[in-house]
């Protein structure tokens, strides 16, 4: 492996890329290609959230069906990440990326012209399948193609897109809904896919695993059932209730089947889909836990932040999405800085600093947020939080990919993505539940003198409180003020819980976080590099 930053890893030129050495220019094109593909996937996760009302009207369907249109994409994505990432390692990363981009692009075209909710749900499932291949393959292309001296910076770019891309996608989606029609939301991922596909065909080299073992089909199927059940539980729990039969059943199925997966993989040893014994290592364990918590906090904050901007401050969806851009910018800046800090200070110190800053950001919002000072009261907190998350995510991602051999990078990348999806679902469920409980407790103590026909709906949430305020007669303005302050009270409780979780994670990473790759990991990657074959 060359140590010259203007040179790169040697690969076979039979993929049509021309030549056996990837120079700096081609590496940049590869990075742009995988970043465009990843941006398309990330933008599709949150894009439809801004068009729920429009979809319900166009399809003449219920809110629960609209939520399924949104959530089925994430469910399919999370459930299929691990098996499709492993298949990509075997079949070849370039053909899998090309195929998944085609599936993703065509399904988005179908969704854009869907005549009914049923067709839309089918298109979203297909999009989720394509996304479940794109996400792990894009990171695997980086870790299996880029030389060691460039890999950290490339992972930083990938992580910045993964973290900040959702905010950018949400802003562009809100803009399209505001100035055009909700169906134009699919134009963004379609354009990104076309660009990524053209660049992939021209510049991305192929690599795959040479394995003497049969694919672990049983392990793959077990993982799909376990992940799908757990994600379903986290998605449906807030709406159906955490004690409902379906919620409890999906939780039990997810946990039991997950335990079966662990036992099965332990028995398979070298032929396993995922060597679960590697979670004992600091890198894989610490990196995975950090991503679960950081993405959980980020997603949970987004869920409670939008009602604050729209219901409390009375902002439009477009302005609300634009207000998150400072977080996206600082997150991407920190993601670019993190690889250098990780080399100089070590991954554990970099992760710890990022986790600490994220916790400080949450505490700043909790301390400063107010109705009177509006957006300016939360701006310092979201900027600090964005920078902290960027610092924490990059070394966490690299720690996970370093823990598995190079020929298993599709699996490593998929595991990285699964932790993100679990964190997202868990954070939304937990912080959303804490906010709801805090709002209910706060508003119950403040409704004296408010007519019952307005007070009863107000207990359900801030949106219904504002809608019912005209029924309060002369107390309408009082009810609006009460609802907004109660929302702030509930949000502060959720923020303090998030701060406490980050404090616990900080202590854990200080004690058990990754520092430098172990000799075993380095040897495994060297052995894996010899097994990687180009196209």
pLDDT one-digit tens code per residue, 400-453: 877 777 666 767 777 777 888 888 788 877 877 788 888 888 887 777 777 777
* Distance from C-alpha of 469 to C-alpha of 449, rounded to nearest angstrom: 13
Kindly state the average pLDDT of the residues 492-512: 90
Q: Which two tokens stand for residue 467?
A: 């809608």
Non-local (6+) Cβ contacts of 492 within 8 A are 366, 369, 438
CA distance 94 to 13: 13
What is the average per-residue pLDDT within 251-264?
A: 92
Give 139's pLDDT tier (boundaries 50, 70, 90): confident
Residue 108: the pLDDT is: 93
What per-residue confidence (pLDDT) applies to 521? Answer: 39
Determine the 3-state secondary structure of 21 from DSSP.
strand
Q: Which two tokens stand for residue 520?
A: 């075993």
Angle CA 251–297–49, to nearest 5: 80
Residue whose tokens read 């502060």: 492
Strand partners, 533: 208
Distance of CA 88 to the CA centre of its chain: 20
DSSP-derived 3-state class of residue 19: coil
Following DSSP, what letter does each residue of 452-503 receive, concatenated? HHHHHHHTT-HHHHHHHGGGGGGGHHHHHHHHHHHHHHHHHHHHHHHHHHHH
Burial of 269 (0-12, 13-18, 19+ CB in 10 A): exposed
Give long-range contacts, CB 8 A cutoff, 24+ apart: 500-505.
Answer: 501/293, 501/296, 501/297, 502/293, 502/297, 502/355, 502/356, 502/358, 502/359, 502/362, 503/359, 505/289, 505/290, 505/293, 505/355
Element (H, E) at 156: helix 148-179
pLDDT class of 16 with cuts at 50, 70, 90: very low
Taking the C-alpha atoms of residue 369 and residue 490, their distance in angstroms, rounded to an integer, is: 12
- Indicate whether 168 pLDDT > 80: no
pLDDT computed for residue 19 by the predictor? 39
**Is the per-residue pLDDT at 2 higher than 80?**
no
- Find out whether 279 and 288 touch, Cβ atoms under 8 Å: yes
Cα(497)–Cα(505) distance, integer angstroms? 12
pLDDT tens track for 56-86:
788 887 767 877 888 888 888 888 888 888 8
Share of residues in the chain with pLDDT > 70 (%): 88
Q: DSSP letter at 532?
A: -
User: Tens of pLDDT along 215-240?
Assistant: 788 888 998 999 889 888 887 877 77
Query: How confident is the model at residue 99, as a pLDDT?
Result: 93
pTM: 0.78
pLDDT at position 523, please? Answer: 41
The pLDDT score that the predictor gives to residue 516 is 61
**Residue 362 zone, left/alpha/beta (φ > 0; ψ -120 to 50; rest):** alpha
Would you state the pLDDT for residue 211? 62
Q: What is the pLDDT of residue 292?
A: 87
pLDDT of residue 90: 81
Angstrom distance (rounded) from CA 66 to CA 464: 19
């Amino acid at each position: 492996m060359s140590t010259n930053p203007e040179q790169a890893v040697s690969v076979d030129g039979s993929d049509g890329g021309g030549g056996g050495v990837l120079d700096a220019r081609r590496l940049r094109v590869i990075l742009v290609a995988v970043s465009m593909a990843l941006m398309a996937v990330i933008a599709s996760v949150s894009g439809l959230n801004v068009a729920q009302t429009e979809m319900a009207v166009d399809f003449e369907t219920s809110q629960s069906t609209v939520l399924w249109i949104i959530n089925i994409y994430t469910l399919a994505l999370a459930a299929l990440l691990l098996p499709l990432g492993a298949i990509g390692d075997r079949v070849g990363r370039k053909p899998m990326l090309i195929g998944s981009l085609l599936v993703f692009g065509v399904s988005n075209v179908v969704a854009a012209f869907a005549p009914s909710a049923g067709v839309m749900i089918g298109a979203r499932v297909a999009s989720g399948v394509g996304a479940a291949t794109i996400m792990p393959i894009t990171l695997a292309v980086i870790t299996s193609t880029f030389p060691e001296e460039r890999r950290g910076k490339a992972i930083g770019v990938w992580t910045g897109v993964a973290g900040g891309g959702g905010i950018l996608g949400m802003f562009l989606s809100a803009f399209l809904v505001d100035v055009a029609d909700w169906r134009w939301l699919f134009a963004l991922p379609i354009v990104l896919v076309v660009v990524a596909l053209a660049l992939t065909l021209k510049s991305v080299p192929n690599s795959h695993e040479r394995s003497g073992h049969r694919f672990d089909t049983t392990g793959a199927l077990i993982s799909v059932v376990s992940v799908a059940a757990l994600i379903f539980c986290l998605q449906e729990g807030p709406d159906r209730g955490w004690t409902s039969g379906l919620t409890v059943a999906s939780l039990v199925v997810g946990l039991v089947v997950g335990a079966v997966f662990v036992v099965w993989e332990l028995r398979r040893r070298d032929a396993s889909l995922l060597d679960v014994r590697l979670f004992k290592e600091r890198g894989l364990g610490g990196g995975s836990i950090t991503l679960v918590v950081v993405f959980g906090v980020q997603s949970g904050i987004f869920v409670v932040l939008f009602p604050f901007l729209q219901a409390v401050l009375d902002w439009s969806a477009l302005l609300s999405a634009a207000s998150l851009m400072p977080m996206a910018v600082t997150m991407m800046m920190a993601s670019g800085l993190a690889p250098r800090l990780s080399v100089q200070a070590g991954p554990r110190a970099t992760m710890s600093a990022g986790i600490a800053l994220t916790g400080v950001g949450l505490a700043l919002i909790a301390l400063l947020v107010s109705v009177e000072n509006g957006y300016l009261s939360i701006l310092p907190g979201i900027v600090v939080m964005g920078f902290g998350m960027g610092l924490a995510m990059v070394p966490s991602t690299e720690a996970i990919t370093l823990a598995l051999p190079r020929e298993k990078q599709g699996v490593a990348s998929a595991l990285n993505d699964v932790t993100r999806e679990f964190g997202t679902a868990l954070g939304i469920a937990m912080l959303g539940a804490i906010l709801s409980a805090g709002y209910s407790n706060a508003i119950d103590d403040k409704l004296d003198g408010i007519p019952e026909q307005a007070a009863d709906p107000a207990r359900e949430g801030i949106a219904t409180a504002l809608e019912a305020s005209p029924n309060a007669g002369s107390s309408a303005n009082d009810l609006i003020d009460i609802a907004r302050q109660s929302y702030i009270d509930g949000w502060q409780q959720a923020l303090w819980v998030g701060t406490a979780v980050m404090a616990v994670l900080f202590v854990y990473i200080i004690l058990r976080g990754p520092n430098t790759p172990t000799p075993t990991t380095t040897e495994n990657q060297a052995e894996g590099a010899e097994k990687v074959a180009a196209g």
